[in-house]
Amino acid sequence: QTLKLAQTAIDPDDLNGARRVVSFLRELDQDTWDQVVEDAQSYNRYQAGRLLADPGLRPDKVERAMTISRCLYGLPWWLREAHYWRVLRGRKKAGRPKGKATTGVEKWRE
């Protein structure tokens, strides 16, 4: 279902195209989220392996190297976007700690 929703998420500058997939991913329970991330990593490793085994699939050496690198070390941008929102939702509201200097001035006065 994730890949079907992600078909419209092709441009990182167009967040509306990724709205459905990011909203879906934000609401997943932790076990399902972990499985989606693992599936994305497995798919990327598979694609990198294909390009390494058959360089003719992407004849341009530079383009092939960039694609392999992205597959081995990256995740789809819409997955990272969903991760950001999941982390943000789990955080406590941040604010200035009560009774503590936030500028570091106290440290320099010693």
The first and second tokens of residue 57, run together, are: 């699939």
Distance spanning both ends of the chain, measured CA to CA: 59
The first and second tokens of residue 61, run together, are: 């050496």
Query: What pLDDT, on a 0 to 100 scale, did the predictor assign at position 32?
Result: 92
Mean per-residue pLDDT, 40-54: 94
Nearest to 34 by CA among 82, 72, 69: 82
pTM of the prediction? 0.68
Taking the domains of the chain in order of start, what are their residue ranges? 2-89
Q: What is the mean pLDDT of the chain?
A: 82
State percent of the chain over pLDDT 70.
82
Name which residue leads in pLDDT, 81 or 52: 52
The model's pLDDT over 50-75, given as tens digits with 9 standing for 90+, comes to: 999 999 999 999 999 999 998 888 88
Mean per-residue pLDDT, 12-39: 88
